[in-house]
Amino acid sequence: MRVAIYHSSDEHSIQVDKDLAKILSQNEIVIDNEKPTVVITIGGDGTLLSAVQKYLNLLEEVRFVGVHTGHLGFYTDWREYELETLVKALKSDGGAEVSYPLLNIDVTHTDGSHISYKAVNESTLRKLSGTMVADVLIGDNLFERFRGDGLCISTPTGSTAYNRSVGGAIVHPRLEVLQMAEIASINNRVFRTVGASLIMAPNETITIRPVPSFHRTYNFTADRIDLLDKHVKEVHYSIDEQKVKFLKYRHTGFWNRVRNSFIGSIDEV
Beta bridge partners of 198: 180
DSSP-assigned states of every residue in the chain: -EEEEEE-SSHHHHHHHHHHHHHHHHTTPEE-SSS-SEEEEEE-HHHHHHHHHHTGGGTTT-EEEEEESSSPPSS--EEGGGHHHHHHHHHT----EEEEEEEEEEEEETTS-EEEEEESSEEEEEESSS-EEEEEEETTEEEEEEEEEEEEEE-TGGGGTHHHHTTPPP--TTS--EEEEEEEE--SSS-----S-EEE-TT--EEEEE-GGG---EEEEETTEEEEES-EEEEEEEEEEEEEEEE-SS---HHHHHHHHHT--GGG-
Q: Where in the sequence numbering do the catalytic residues fall?
A: 45
With a CB cutoff of 8 Å and minimum separation 6, the contacts of 77 are 65, 66, 249, 250, 251, 252
Instruction: List 222's β-bridge partners, or say none.
Output: 123, 225
- Cα separation, 213 vs 37, in Å, equals 48
